Amino acid sequence: MPLAFQSRSHGTIAFGYFNIEVDFLLLQQLFFPAERFCDAVVALRREDTASLDAWRIDDPQRVGDLHGAIAGTHLHGFIGALYQRFPFPSDPLDFRQSPQGEQNNAWASEQIARYGEPVTIALRRNSRGMAIDEFLFDEPGFMQLIAYIARGGYPRWRDGVQPEHVKQMLAAIEGR
């Protein structure tokens, strides 16, 4: 479930996982596989810039309605397509982010290509903080995004197991 985070450039923004069976993140109107984001963060630790391929969906109708899709009542747009294929679990105890979600990313990428425009976004580090595309974060704010990914978002990782790309990102951040 995406959560609200503070950015220096745009105030409160939405960031996070939005379906437990797919390893994708959203940042406002930008959507990208978490593995690509983690790889870019690793690269950002070595360089001042990194990039990742993503999709932008500016039209809310093409994005879909997350809460309606979770309820199974509004299954339109990209989010609706995801929840038709991977519905919200009927048992709340099953609401956990899958550490194998990247196995569904190829299918999700095909779906988002129907709704969004491919873009390459830059991650940058400078004296003002960290930027993801147009969104600027101070260091503590950026690290809150990383902590969110590390714990598996709002529902947390299923069985407490992080995917390998998350472990690699955390190791790079910790200098291991």
C-alpha to C-alpha distance for 115 and 73, rounded to whole angstroms? 20
Would you call 158 helix, strand, or coil by DSSP? Answer: helix
In which residue ranges of the chain is pLDDT below 50?
none
Give the pLDDT score at 17.
97
User: Residue 97's closest CA among 173, 176, 53, 163?
Assistant: 163
Distance CA 104, CA 124 (A): 28
Cβ contacts of 118 within 8 Å, gap of 6 or more: 53, 54, 55
Helices H / strands E in the chain, number of each: 7, 8
68-80 tens-digit pLDDT: 999 999 999 999 9
Q: Residue 30 has which token pair?
A: 């930008």
What is the value of pTM for the model shown? 0.95
Instruction: Name the residue with tokens 């923004």.
Output: 13
pLDDT computed for residue 12 by the predictor = 98
